[in-house]
Chains A and B, each alone.
Chain A
Amino acid sequence: MTNPTVAANTGSGSSVPANLPYTKESFVSGQEVRWCPGCGDYSILATVQRTLAKSSIPKEKYVFISGIGCSSRFPYYMNTYGFHSIHGRAPTIATGLKCANPELSVWVITGDGDGLSIGGNHIIHCMRRNVNLNILLVNNRIYGLTKGQYSPTSPVGQITKSSPYGSIEHPINALCVAIAAEATFIARTLDTDPAHMSYVLDRASKHKGVSFVEIYQNCVIFNDKAFTPVTGRDTREDRMVYLEDGKPLVFGKKREKGFRLKGLRPEIVEISQANSKELMVHNEKDLSPHYAYLLTQMEYPETPVPFGVFRAVEKSTYEEMLEAQIAEVTKTKGKGDLKKLIHGPNTWTVK
């Protein structure tokens, strides 16, 4: 498979400084990994560990915070600081921690149930505040840990243990939620393409502000091959579009197809000399959310599914503004004097 984004941005590894203190093994904790054999989470874990090893951030600065679910076991397997918290609440703990120590590299590991169902509220508010942390939403479209009920991303009609006659719920689109909350970094990657995942994770890590990454992950037990129609070996070239900033959106076995806008919708076209100027060109830095929203609406089977960085824009982060306000008020009012605070505006003396 051609994957020009990765080729262009990460090369063969030669851009990595040779004197880095860490290897992948530096990030492997002693805990026995207890996911099912063949689970997509193994690939995500290894890719995160490999990606972190390529960075010069000291190991003690990393914190992995999760909620509840299969993927939320993640922190136990990372030899970093970690917090396996309660269902859906990881973004709240991450936000408090980031406020306490903005120098930390904080990673929230969540899933489609944890992040979009029970914790939906927190995800939205964490993104709108632009807290500088990385949210990895591992989406397998099923409740795995509770053994196979439908999730908020399960498609209509899906047969599961709690929907024996098919799910009658319309699914939620994770990246749509992210763009609605105007997250400043939004991306999608997949468990079966570690090189692309590593590229996206590295970008997320370096992004100043909230990074929201949806990772398509296969649950071998309860929802096997859920993404295969899109990401399968035989179909992916026709059904996946890798986004590259500043370049046209192209797909197809010969990279012969692209898109042009027809009204508010992208229309698939065969690329030719004649229409090269009409082609949709990816612009991840577009400050308006409209374009990124349009990308989130591209779904199989209507269109190929985009992967890569949908949006990467700059905005003040929450903790940056918090610290700036404290500095500003301290400058204008002077450093707080506890005695004055206790005394308040009016006192009187009893003799």
Chain B
Amino acid sequence: MTAEKTKSVTSSVTVRFAGDSGDGMQLTGDQFTDTTAIMGNDFATLPEYPAEIRAPAGTLPGVSSFQIQFSDSIIFTPGDHADVLVAMNPAALKVNLRNIKKGGLIIANENAFVEGNLAKANWKTNPLLDDTLKEFQVLKVELSELTRNALKDLPLKPSEVDRSKNFFALGMMFWLYDRSLDYTVDWIKAKFSKRPEIVEGNITALKAGYNFADITERLPIQFYVKESAQEPGVYRKISGNEATAIGLVAAAHLAGKTLFYGSYPITPASSILQELSKYKNFGVKTFQAEDEIAAIGSAIGASFGGELGVTGTSGPGMCLKAEALNLAVMTELPLVIVDAQRGGPSTGMPTKPEQTDLLQAMYGRNGESPVAVLAAKTPSDCFYMAIEAVRLAVKYMTPVILLSDGYLAEAAEPWKLPEISKLPKIEITHPKAGKEPFLPYSRDPETLARPWAKVGTPGLEHRIGGLAKADLTGNVSYDPENNQKMIELRAEKIRRIANDIPEAEIRGPESGKLLILSWGSTYGGVFQAVSEFESKGIKLSHVHLNYLNPFPKNLGVLLSRFEKILVPELNMGQLLFLLRNNFTGINVVGLNKVQGQTFKISEIVEKIKELL
């Protein structure tokens, strides 16, 4: 490092890489993240892809971005606004301008800011040459040109040279945040082992970027983020859909069952199917169905056969699955439905998160049809909630809906790996023929679950179906009193799950003026907003719900101790509706947003200030 440069220690940094779909921004972000993980920072990432598969190069819809926040303390969000934006072309700058902090640094690939590209991105003038960016620090770098110069002696095609420029940019960022190049160098060697010239090209570009940043006078300060105080243990990076998939495999293992996952591709749930389809050597059976209905139907069939039937989808698929879900309610078969929620209504915003399926999960079926509803709060929490969904489904012989969302599905965070021996046990007993006639709708006195007879068991031949069921025998019955009784029994069965789930925990004071109540992925934003107040000496109370139906047993009492309850949700007040329906005498206030984006911490902080 040149002598005149200084090193500054900082607590938390948000970096955003943005470029054309073909610029390798996701790869660049992943590499930066992996190195950040190894350096011991806590982090949260958010990839953002264009909805179009191959949008025309250089256009606004073709921009692909990756944001990471890393910190010396515990964090749960990828950051509100970026400290640094790496913009590979004018479109990337245009799309991401509102995501940069005032005074933040923009590193722009000067070579890409030419007439054609500027026009494609709807820039009337070159923003690098006028005062458009006067609120920011701008570092113009001839990224393409510098990469070409660095690689000029290597036997690479011009297109291959051009593709290495993301490593040049990554090298610069590694210098700026004082990161080691070792991990990425090893990764390049392994990834391109069959093309030594590509290995050399990419490593050369990476080092050239690093050295350029070191030498240039335009980057006077190098920043350093200390290790975060994470709990000791072995960690990995994980996204929500990976965690859901692995959690389902783990649940099947804990239950001694084969996992059957029937699904129809739908954004943002498809990667659960893709992940699970890799795990054939765990005995996992994946079935890519002809439609959403067939997906859930096949899962119900697998459950009828004694396997662990699971299906996954997003909002529009939930609509299509409703009738079959109700069949599983009536036939009281175990079934897990993962719903990675996305923007709606209708096709809505497929790649963007919302929490707008809560009421659909609760009520979106004909008849009195209660099911258990759970929600994961962070990417790694998807692992534990997938296991929990399976545990409850098989113990209570009921469908369980697990809500995730488009943010959790794609976002990644460090995950302290669990010990398998400490995961919950899932015990299943299938009945065998006895002396008495088999009663498929007899019930466990504690859980009210009916027996799970595996098709093929001698002596237990019985018929189930969607028509109203007689108590005990399960025969078709239109008897009025019986119907009333069966509907009440099924509702009571779901209510009793409350005896089997943890009570809600409160962070901060147990009573007072304001409680903040969150569910699902808004956990991260709320947690950090509350932390911000704490760091200023203001103690706030926060309760997070992983269980939406039934609610934890102590929720009513907890809520009654507060004058006001703030419920931030990525919908127009769905949990709010449930709370008002379930608890009287509470004063609930919503913070609602349906913009296809998670909450910024600042938005929650502002709302809290307003209520304090």
Contact = CB atoms under 8 A, between A and B. Distances in A.
Given A100-B306, A342-B417, A81 B462 contact: yes
Interface string A309-328: 00000000000001001100
A13 interface: no
Given A326-B283, A341-B279, A125 B301 contact: no
A81 B463 contact: yes
A335 B293 CA distance: 32
B302 A347 contact: no
Interface string A53-74: 0000011110101000000000
B293 to A, nearest CB: 6
A83 B281 contact: no
A330 interface: yes
Contacts of B283: 326, 330, 336
Contacts of B282: 335-336, 338, 341
B38 interface: yes
A344 B227 CA distance: 22
A79 interface: yes
Interface residues of A, number: 58
Interface string A70-99: 000001101111111110010111111111
Contact of A93 (B231, B236, B300, B467): B300
Chain B interface residue number, banded = 35 or more
Contacts of A60: 455-461
B304 A83 contact: yes
B40 interface: yes
A336 B281 contact: yes
Contacts of A82: 462-465
A330 B246 CA distance: 17
B455 A101 contact: yes
Given A326-B283, A329-B280, A338-B250, A104 B294 contact: no
Contacts of B291: 121
A305 to B, nearest CB: 30
B556 interface: no
Given A60-B456, A104-B456, A125 B463 contact: no
Given A100-B306, A349-B234, A350-B233, A81 B285 contact: no
Nearest to B231: A350
Contact of B234 (A78, A80, A347): A347
B234 A96 contact: no
Given A100-B302, A350-B230, A350-B235, A86 B323 contact: yes
B258 interface: yes
A349 B40 CA distance: 9
Nearest to B476: A76
Interface string B21-53: 000000000000010011010000000000000
B262 interface: yes
Contacts of B296: 92
B297 interface: yes
- Looking at B289, B298, B303, B459, which has the most chain A CB atoms within 10 Å of its CB? B298
Interface in B268-327: 279-283, 285, 287, 289-291, 293-307, 309, 323-324, 327
Nearest to B297: A92
A93 B305 CA distance: 10
A269 to B, nearest CB: 43
B253 interface: yes
B232 A351 contact: yes
A254 interface: no
Contact of A346 (B232, B237, B455, B465): B237
A326 B463 contact: no
Contacts of A335: 281-282
B333 to A, nearest CB: 10
A226 to B, nearest CB: 28
A125 B289 CA distance: 9
A85 B327 contact: yes
A234 interface: no
Interface in B252-275: 253, 258, 260, 262
A262 interface: no
B322 to A, nearest CB: 11
B385 interface: no
B466 interface: yes
A92 B301 contact: yes
Contacts of A350: 40, 227, 230-233, 235, 416
A339 interface: yes
Given A76-B463, A96-B305, A349-B234, A338 B281 contact: no
A326 B285 contact: yes
Contacts of B37: 346, 348
B249 A336 contact: yes
In order of increasing CB-CB distance, the 8 nearest A-B pairs are: A96-B301, A92-B297, A84-B465, A100-B305, A96-B298, A336-B282, A82-B463, A97-B301
17 contacts: A58-B458, A60-B459, A80-B461, A81-B461, A82-B463, A82-B464, A83-B331, A84-B466, A86-B323, A95-B301, A97-B301, A101-B306, A101-B455, A101-B456, A125-B294, A326-B281, A338-B420
Given A92-B293, A343-B236, 11 more contacts: A58-B458, A63-B455, A85-B327, A85-B465, A93-B301, A96-B262, A329-B280, A342-B236, A342-B246, A342-B417, A348-B235
